[in-house]
């Protein structure tokens, strides 16, 4: 249920493309993303290599200007996204890392595929948010607001420049949804497909250049020559 709510809110935030690296810990998100793809709500791209997945999501986000999530399982799989996150940070591209994680109680206990994932990308991301472990319909607004904050930061609507964000999502077992789970059991979002928490876009203006109108000025103007010119033989 939690994963389906998160994916539903991503679509409401304008997500039309998503990249998935399937694994065990991100199985809930894998099922939710596949269901959204089957319903025609987004287009899902599956890759088995996290580095490749990260750069695919980066390219689509750069091309469309929309947030593009890339979803991985827990542990070192997340670290393989670091090169794409750095590129997104320097280029101002709204890349959304959906990193599935083990519950906090398993961190530092010797369990496999456990690292400190929150804050893994340091200052390269505009925002890192941690999702709750489990929950029920009463957490619907909390889950959706978490997604809205992340997408707003990714596109620069929170006041900072656009760039990558990380949404770290601990999932406890069972990781596979019950056979009887249906969309009717998923808590609904805002009517009309609106976001749960709307963030108005921020308009930025560059400060005026401190030019002195009385200072001597030289203007250099150039014109690229055409490929052929019949009147200018020296070109």
Residue 202 makes CB contacts below 8 A (sequence gap 6+) with: 156, 157, 158, 159
- Please report the pLDDT score of residue 203 as a whole number: 65
Residue burial 135-152, b: 16+ Cβ < 10 Å; e: rest: eeeebbeebbebbbbbbb
pLDDT in the model for residue 61: 98
pLDDT the model gives residue 105: 65
pLDDT at 226: 61
CA–CA separation, 154 vs 66, rounded Å? 9
- Name residues of the chain where pLDDT drops below 70: 105, 110, 113, 179-184, 202-206, 224-235
Return the percentage of the chain with pLDDT > 70, whole number: 87
The rounded Cα 185 to chain-centroid distance in angstroms is 26
> Which CATH code of 2.40.160.60, 3.30.70.270, 3.20.20.120, 3.40.50.970 fits the domain covering 2-193?
3.40.50.970
Give residue limits of the domains in the chain.
2-193
pTM recorded for the entire structure: 0.82
Taking residue 66's Cβ as centre, other Cβ atoms within 10 Å add up to 17
Q: At what angle do helices 50-64 and 82-91 cross, to 10 degrees?
A: 20
Res 209: pLDDT: 72
pLDDT, one tens digit per residue, over 150-207 is 999 999 999 899 999 999 999 988 888 776 666 667 889 999 999 999 887 766 666 7
């Amino acid at each position: 249920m939690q994963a389906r709510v998160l994916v539903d809110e991503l679509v409401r935030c304008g997500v039309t493309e998503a990249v998935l690296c399937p694994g065990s810990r991100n199985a809930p998100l894998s099922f939710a993303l596949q269901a959204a793809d089957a319903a025609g709500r987004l287009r899902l791209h599956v890759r088995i290599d996290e580095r490749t997945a990260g750069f695919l999501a980066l390219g689509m986000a750069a091309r469309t200007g929309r947030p593009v999530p890339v979803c991985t399982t827990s542990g070192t799989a997340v670290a393989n996204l670091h090169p794409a996150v750095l590129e997104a940070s320097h280029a101002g591209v709204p890349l959304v890392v959906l990193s599935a994680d083990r519950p906090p109680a398993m961190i530092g206990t010797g369990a496999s595929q456990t690292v400190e994932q929150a804050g893994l990308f340091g200052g390269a991301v505009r925002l890192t948010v941690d999702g709750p472990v489990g929950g029920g319909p009463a957490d619907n607004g909390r889950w959706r607001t978490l997604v809205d904050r992340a997408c707003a930061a990714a596109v620069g609507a929170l006041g900072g420049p656009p760039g990558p964000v990380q949404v770290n999502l601990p999932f406890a077992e069972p990781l596979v949804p019950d056979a009887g789970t249906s969309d009717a059991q998923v808590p609904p979002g805002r009517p009309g497909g609106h976001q749960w928490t709307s963030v108005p876009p921020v308009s930025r203006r560059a400060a005026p250049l401190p030019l002195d109108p009385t200072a001597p000025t030289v203007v250099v103007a150039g014109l690229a020559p055409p490929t052929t010119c019949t009147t200018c033989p020296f070109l």
